[in-house]
Amino acid sequence: MPPPPPLLLLAVLVAAAARPGCEFDGSLAGECHRPPAADSATCVDLQLRTCSDAAYNHTTFPTPLQHRSREAVETSSEYILLSVLHQLLEGQCNPDLRLLGCAVLAPRCEGGRVRRPCRHVCEGLREACQPAFDAIDMAWPYFLDCHRYFKREDEGCYDPLEKLRGGLEADEVLPSGLPPTFIRFSHHSYAQMARVLRRTAARCAHVARTYSIGRSFDGRDLLVIEFSSRPGQHELMEPEVKLIGNIHGNEVAGREMLIYLTQYLCSEYLLGNPRIQRLLNTTRIHLLPSMNPDGYEVAAAEGAGYNGWTSGRQNAQNLDLNRNFPDLTSEYYRLAGTRSVRSDHIPIPEHYWWGKVAPETKAIMKWMQTIPFVLSASLHGGDLVVSYPFDFSKHPQEEKMFSPTPDEKTFKLLSRAYAEVHPMMMDRSENRCGGNFLKRGSIINGADWYSFTGGMSDFNYLHTNCFEITVELGCVKFPPEEALYTIWQHNKESLLNFVETVHRGIKGVVMDKYGKPVKNARILVKGIRHDITTAPDGDYWRLLPPGTHIVIAQAPGYARLIKKVIIPARMKRAGRVDFILQPLGVGPKNFLPGLRRTGPHDPLGGASPLGEGTEPNPDPLRARRQPSAGGSKPWWWSYFTSLSAHRPRWLLKY
């Protein structure tokens, strides 16, 4: 073909120059090649409900998936998937995956240009969330292809999860001249709380670390700071303690007390305080300042002094988290009248999972299955008293009825450890906050105060080895800032004294004759119908009051072993009581009868809480998450085919 006439070539160049964004590529046809749609676009308002909490307000059409309108996006199977991911994955990777998908289905548009999400964010989420998809036999969504729809950082990408981080990476500079041990006695927003926890962990990195046990419904990390001589590791014979604040979002004093305690423990450890150093070197302490960060945001928006009695109490789903745990107390009362039947480590009933389970509740339960907690306290507000299980009356129709656990004496000891060093709880004035509990020593059995079901303390006691009390820190749920220092002074010693009580009673290791640890062995105390079980390393901790106790260790396949233990009244360090179990063929062939039932294996992903060597039957929820057999479609397939005309075969693995 002969070269184009010079005048024609010049005309093409002039036309290209006159059209913004048009590049001449030297082709004979003189075609105008605009930059890819990823770089140039017409921005419109983002109106997709599922993506309403994205970090941007404008998008563009067509999208990378060639959806040309909002209606086209909303009727697509990709969008339907994003809207139900939380339910499909049972709260895992939420809202991260949804926001990542929104970055593709509704691309970010600014100043007439589209910004692409970062590839490294996608790759990190895929690595973390792939197991959740595998568990329900679902393929990784094609539109979350990290190489096709995402860019490298050097190509100018953005982080679609930046809103979740909420500026947490930025450090907060303290006023000049203040020492690092300075504690600011003020209310802390979520971002401020997270910065304090992470900054404190960095200052005491050899004894502290932060980690998340999950996310709230609105996607905020449930941040924990841990103090231990070896952060991140369970050490043999070292008891585990947890303190939880802000389970009700508008009860904020506990949240602030744990933020202050975090800084105090770190500073005093560095300053060489022998009490704090001994505590952190012999105890693994986990502090969760806010179990309900979403509810706190609602309460904080009204502010101290203006907050109502219930504003922000529930989580973002309008669920009361301290009524959202499985009701095991009713099952305990049913079993208590039957001899030779275990009434501890009660499994979660399968019908519980068909109800509305908050992600915060689920995170706590999974946390409890992961770590062998011995002692716990939940910090509340609204009165001034320490209550202990049971919280649910043994006669459900009775609103107030003394309903003790088999460990009534131990729970009283734990409750007094907090109350008796609290100056206001010991104040003799009956006109003060909490004065009506003065004659009881400022402690009370929960059901004797008022009865309710689904509480966290009862669940701790009946499902795990953990003993939990509830501390009401004052009559004002959202105290003014000027009151926080005084509240800290009243509670600092009580918090420390309570944590130290984890070293009461006995502890030890259960092993076989070869020195191999026996996990899930049962530790029984005669006269107390509540057993505890050994941790995977064979170690155990049994909180007990002073006195003489007959302690029995037993495990399937071994002969039981009985020891007499005397705990002096003033003894403040747990006595060491080890057990070496003999196989049944060697020792006497007697075994303390107990309930050998197969409870449901709940969707928390942890081991069976029964402590038995039996394999529990899977519950329907877990069974439906297993890979399909025989070429049949997974259980979720019919849901998508009923809602969309487009069958998302890209979700099928086979």
Catalytic residues: 472
Residue 459's contacts (CB-CB under 8 Å, 6 or more residues apart) are: 325, 326, 328, 365
| Residues 494, 418 contacting (CB under 8 angstroms) | yes
Q: Which two tokens stand for residue 493?
A: 């010693």
Q: Phi then psi for 619, rounded to 5 degrees?
A: -85, 165
CA distance 494 to 261: 11
CA distance 208 to 200: 8
SS3 638: helix
| Amino acid in the structure at residue 184 | R
437: nearest Cα among 382, 492, 481:
382
CA distance 240 to 367: 12
CA distance 9 to 31: 12
Tokens 């005093």, residue? Answer: 268
CA distance 388 to 458: 9
CA distance 399 to 449: 8
Residue 375's contacts (CB-CB under 8 Å, 6 or more residues apart) are: 239, 240, 241, 242, 414, 466, 467, 468, 498, 499, 501, 502, 543
β-pairing verdict for 506-512 and 467-474:
unpaired
Q: Which two tokens stand for residue 162?
A: 């930046």
471: nearest Cα among 432, 435, 417:
417
221 by Cβ neighbours in 10 Å (0-12 / 13-18 / 19+) ranks as buried
| Residues 421, 494 contacting (CB under 8 angstroms) | yes
Residue 542's contacts (CB-CB under 8 Å, 6 or more residues apart) are: 505, 506, 507, 523, 525, 532, 551
293: nearest Cα among 343, 242, 347, 360:
360
- Is the preceding peptide bond at 133 cis, omega within 30 degrees of 0? no
CA distance 432 to 474: 10
| Amino acid in the structure at residue 253 | A
Q: What is the DSSP string of 495-548?
A: HHHHHHGGGSSEEEEEEETTS-B-TT-EEEETTEEEEEE--TTSEEEE---SEE
Compute CA distances 50 → 73, 74, 82, 96, 117, whole Å.
Answer: 11, 9, 7, 12, 18
DSSP code at position 139: P
Q: What distance separates the 2 farthest-apart alpha carbons in the chain? A: 110
CA distance 526 to 78: 59
SS3 12: helix
